[in-house]
Structure 1
Amino acid sequence: MSFLSATLSRVKPSPTIAVTTKAGELRAAGRDVIGLGAGEPDFDTPENIKAAAVQAIADGKTKYTAVDGIPELKAAICAKFARENGLTYAPNQVSVGTGGKQILYNALMATLNPGDEVVIPAPYWVSYPDMVLLAGGTPVVATATLDNSFKLTPAQLEAAITPKTKWLIFNSPSNPTGAGYSRAELKALTDVLMRHPHVWVMTDDMYEHLAYDDFEFCTPAEVEPALYDRTLTCNGVSKAYAMTGWRIGYAAGPVELINAMRKIQSQSTSNPCSVSQWAAVEALNGPQEFLAANTETFTRRRNLVVSMLSQIDGITCPVPEGAFYVYPSIAGLIGKTTPAGTVISDDEAFATALLEEAEVAVVFGAAFGLSPNFRVSYATSDEALKTACERIQEFCASLG
């Protein structure tokens, strides 16, 4: 009999982390690998945020804090929601965790019972289904296709909901596709949810400030105020503020749910890093002007990647509204063979061959629940992106 928990058999390691690890191993072996798999900005954390962390250390703010966040950070989060989303929350409605992932995990652990279903639109962030499984729930995948710009339709949402549905996990702009829902598109989905009062909404708004062209971000409780009492609005400082390693995520929702999440956190990690919390206070309360400059850079990079990948026969690359990913289809390459003799039987075979033969690391689409595709992160330098896309062009042109 195995010593390990049977729960482990229900989940798998993160494919995005696996890709990054493999790319690192090849680099260590002397290979010139360009990594387009990591989901983090290449920008440094802004100086004012770093200075706030240094000051916190100098001031001795290095002790345990309240389990789910210092009062100053909760106040900053409430102010952010009011200022940017038109949502009013009190500090006792706010939870701060060790990254956005812990916030989502705590909420699922605190609410799911065996048999409970969670609707997850695909393509999805790789961790959603596995977190649901770890919490004892059942993921119900509703697939949004390229034909609809990777966005879930109201009819698809309606069809996915059953009497057992407890949550809808909603991510816009999306990881991995960059697809963003307009206010009208989101209102059509919230209209469906209004017909099913037993379904709660868990938003993942981590890419809120990474929106391009004329796209305007909005979140479900903002679009449909009647959903306020059954919505957990989740966000964090990782992406917009280039603070992935600081590990601060947060959410706001009904007091009963926040209290339950605090109980889970109190018996797992306790408080997030005290220094990181003070840095997050400065991130939310401090100057925000750099966000526009970062968005301009990401827009340029997006346009470069979309343009170069769209030139490849067999690849279709839609233009994303936000985040820093593109999610091209390789339907036209399936069945072809690489110069090394590898058959492109699916997107995993494509990504593996691309890494081994062209030294470009991407994440295969099956990891995100929709094939045949692959995800490119353009959160790296223009030079690296141009070289990587040239390698992808040459690799695809060599397929026979």
Structure 2
Amino acid sequence: MSGGRFEFDDGGAYCGGWEGGKAHGHGICTGPKGQGEYSGSWNYGFEVVGVYTWPSGNTYEGYWSQGKRHGLGVETKGHWIYRGEWTHGFKGRYGVRVSVGSGAKYEGTWNNGLQDGYGTETYADGGTYQGQFIGGMRHGYGVRQSVPYGMAAVVRSPLRTSLTSLRSEHSNGTVLQQDVPVITTTNASGEETPVATPTQLGPSRGGFALTLQVDPDTVKPKKKGLFRRGSLLGKLKKSESSTSLSSQKSKISFLRTESALSSNASDTNSTISGDESLAGAEDFPPVEADIDATTTEVYMGEWKNDKRSGYGISERSSGLKYEGEWLNNQRHGYGCTTFAEGGKEEGKYMNNMLVKAMKKRVIQLKGTKIKQKVERAVEGAQRAAAIGKQKAEIAAS
């Protein structure tokens, strides 16, 4: 085996072992026009194990196969560090990705560069989600646990389906909106703005979904038999509740630009975001001033496309609880709400608002049908919550 320094027509250079017209043994290669540098072992033109450094300062240290990251490796990219397995250029099988700035992380299984299977997300404020993932989104069954309300991250604007520690920019062919600034105890970005009126959607707290306050744009015009929105808020006010539902083979195959590796490997499907985006704020109820700072909330049940959808139970430490059907993080369908004071309301919800409920002055047959549907919904929510707990245990193991 010979060796030396070789310069290529495209501006790249190689210094190290050489055999059969290809890099072999140990060597260092610098890409054309400063497109990065690889230092490590080679096998007839292909990287085996070493360190690749891009001009931006991002690095990958680990194993390669046929010109792609494959096996165990560590990627440092911006504020993110990923330690784990790689499969044909993608983050795959099992790994941990952590934000150095905020401490937010995901630990679990991966597929094609995205969270897929079972895993645990820990958000910047300390809240968690444990359960199932598909294509980088929470999907299946799982448990979302908030931190105390006074410590929960504040989100100014609900521009994304979810503000979680790891989310793909490309999911199911659809480009998701970028993370929005949030206020956290670390790397705060943005400012908390007060809610001008009870009906205005404003800052939200990560992990808190129960609310009686709804977006008026999502509520249809009042129809006969529907509760007035004001009556729900009035009921809450009257009770004076302290809680409220809210990733050039011709010469050397290893020469790649950072963008090429990103687009041809898992980086295409990995979130590129700052620490400020790690709040887990998939919920968009307004900040409620009457919630005690020590109050926590947990949701157990079904998730679809990163949101609470299907059957599930959300409960606050104060006693406030909803059991029933959900759609896009809102109570939607049949269910039962239990208030902290002990009272209950049950019936059919639309966009967080009760539209059909049990009344004294209704035909008994109609009331019975509603009650039966509520009971079935509550039973479905309890089953989903139990499955969610099981999936969370699997994710944590």
Q: Under TM normalisation by the shorter chain, which class is it?
A: under 0.3
Q: Which of the two has greater helix per residue?
A: 1
Taking structure 2 as the reference length, the TM-score comes to: 0.21
Q: Which of the two has greater strand per residue?
A: 2
